[in-house]
Chain A
Amino acid sequence: MDLHGFGPQLALGTLMTLELAFASLGVGLVLGLLGAMAKASPHASLRWLGDGYTTLVRGVPELLVVLIVYFGSSAALGMVTGWVGMETHVELDPFAAGTLALGLTFGAYATEVFRGALATVPKGHIEAAHALGLGPWHTFSRIVLPQLWRVALPGLGNLFMVLLKDTALVSVVGLDELMRKSQIAVGFSKQPFTFYAVAAGIYLLLTVITGGGLMMLERRANRGFARARS
């Protein structure tokens, strides 16, 4: 197959796609945990905030979230710099905007996954931690999180697969990831099918590798647990 010398460019694009995916995963996991804790909170206002977050973000197209974050951030940041008396024009670069947008989306779905997983941690374990004098942070990091992680893993894995494919959307705001590199290659070579097929092949490869990685993670997380047989 003749790639017209665009092979290295596509490789760079793939690398950027992966960077974006993992950066968004980090943001999304934090938002998801915060969202789940907000929804399980005794304060009505926090529950309301959590519900609002998941309802809004899950009901709007991912592409629109990317566009709103990218264009909205410069307006929002402009307001902040106006307050502190700076007159400079600031905007999030495509990578930062993409990370935030995909992280927001991942977080909204992850909230539901974590919420379900949180419910499986026995209340007695938390009470036992309190009885042993563990503070809220240690209760969370030593007792809740290790149990949460195992139950949440399959759901989070599916969400990561979705996230990996959603990274293509950030090409719309000009991030040089795989999709945009392919578009540039098409512009030069006038061979749209060849390059989009190569891009599709690379995405397939990434999902297969991710799937394999997730299976290994799940096996590790489930060691010591018997599987239910049907």
Chain B
Amino acid sequence: MSLDLDVAVTYLPKLLDGARLTVQLVVFSGLIGLILAVPLGIARSSERLWVKGGPWAYIFFFRGTPLMVQLFLVYYGLSQFPAVRHSALWPFLRDPYWCALLTMALHTAAYIAEILRGAIQAVPRGEVEAGVALGMKHGVILRRIVLPRAVRIALPAYSNEVILMLKGSALASTITLLELTGMARTIIAKTYMPVEIFLAAGAFYLAISYVIVRLFKLLEWHLARHLRHRG
């Protein structure tokens, strides 16, 4: 087996286009997922059954089924209902880009919510009690003590989740999106050089995940700055 690297070089600009879409999907779904996950995670760590029941079912579904099934349910499945096809949302829901973004955000939100729940429960009890002793209200304790603490605890796990979403974004190719993997597959349909092109796409993924890991290390370092000055 000899590798023809010229092919990979020729199609580098195309792969770069794909990589741009991949990064876009990961960044947007990661941010939207995080925003959705905060209320989910807080409700999930409640002690009242009627508060945590809904988030529990949501998280159970999204963590218990493959992302591919979820994508197909949204992209192909929703069109089964005439009500959806005639609604104002249809221009979005028939577009693979919006479907991929929506599904990935909902999917990752479930995982991030679990990470947040773990982090919220890991906040030392004494710090919450100190807040109570100072006369802080429930909302203030959550905002000033629990969440800032939980964010630092959750950050490494969140960065792992972003890497997992980077890899999950390859599934967007199964609903016709030309992100990195989808682009690689169309190039292969033209050149029939699967090994070279797939390996080149793999190298792109490795590079992107390296950058993500570095960025999170930087953020972690930044968020822990008040712990360093004491020396």
Contacts and interface: CB of A to CB of B under 8 A. Distances in A.
A203 B72 CA distance: 14
B61 interface: yes
Contacts of B69: 168, 179, 196, 199-200, 203
Contacts of A55: 206
Contacts of A203: 64-66, 69
Nearest to B202: A60
Nearest to A211: B64
B209 A75 contact: no
A165 B66 contact: yes
Nearest to B169: A61
Contact of A61 (B70, B79, B205): B205
Contacts of A225: none
A59 interface: yes
Dominant secondary structure of chain A at its interface with chain B: helix
A41 interface: no
Nearest to B73: A196
Interface residues of B, number: 41
A62 B67 CA distance: 12
B198 A59 contact: no
Nearest to B167: A61
Interface string A48-80: 000000011001111110011001100110110
B165 to A, nearest CB: 10
B140 interface: no
A226 B206 CA distance: 42
Given A68-B194, A196-B76, 7 more contacts: A59-B209, A62-B170, A68-B199, A190-B80, A193-B81, A199-B69, A204-B65
